[in-house]
Every structure is written in C-alpha cells, then in structure tokens.
Amino acid sequence: MTDVGQTRTPSKPAKGKESGGNPISRWVKALTLFVSQILDELRKVVRPTRSELWNYTLVVIVFVTVMMAFVAGLDLGFSKLVGLVFGS
C-alpha cells in the first residue's frame, strides 16, 4: 500500500565544488580523471608472451591465406562459368 500522508520532495544537487567553480579547473579535473581512468584500464591489460604472439600471428597468416585461396577459387570458378554461359 502507498502512504498518502507523506509526500516526497525531489532532492536538489548540492551546490559547491561539483556544480560551480572555475571552468578551467573543472576541465583540468575532468581531464585528470579521464587520464587516470585510462591508466587504470591499461594496467588491467594482459599482454601475450612471445610464443603466444608468434602463434597468434601464424594463425592470422594461415587464415588469411586460406581465405584468399577460397575467394580466388570462387573467382576462377565463376569466371569459367560466365565464359561457358556467354561463350567468350
């Protein structure tokens, strides 16, 4: 059930350092916070070891080579098919 006797008033933001002040100092604080958050996130990054990096590189090279061969095969097949259909 709701209590009809009580009414709520919306809370107003506190006036002070957060809502006022020099625009330059607010900008510097925001920039400092942004840079510190970037550095915090970079500390969480797990960098691969040399062998992992080598394995990832080989996987990418093999995958790209296989996909290139697949697309080249499709291109060759379709060009032969078009040549047969249109007699060129």
Residue-wise pLDDT for 44-60, tens only, equals 999 999 999 999 999 99
Distance between CA 87 and CA 32 in Å, rounded?
69
Domain that holds residue 70: 23-86
Q: Domain for residue 53, yes or no?
A: yes
Please list, in sequence order, all residues whose beta carbon lies within 8 angstroms of the beta carbon of residue 82, skipping any fewer than 6 positions away.
88
Distance between CA 50 and CA 56 in Å, rounded?
10
pTM of the model: 0.53
Q: Domain for residue 4, yes or no?
A: no
> What string of DSSP letters covers the chain?
---TT----PPPPPPSTTT-S-HHHHHHHHHHHHHHHHHHHHHTPPPPPHHHHHHHHHHHHHHHHHHHHHHHHHHHHHHHHHHHHHT-
Q: Domain for residue 14, yes or no?
A: no
For position 46, what pLDDT does the model report? 93
For position 2, what pLDDT does the model report? 57
Say how many domains are in the chain.
1
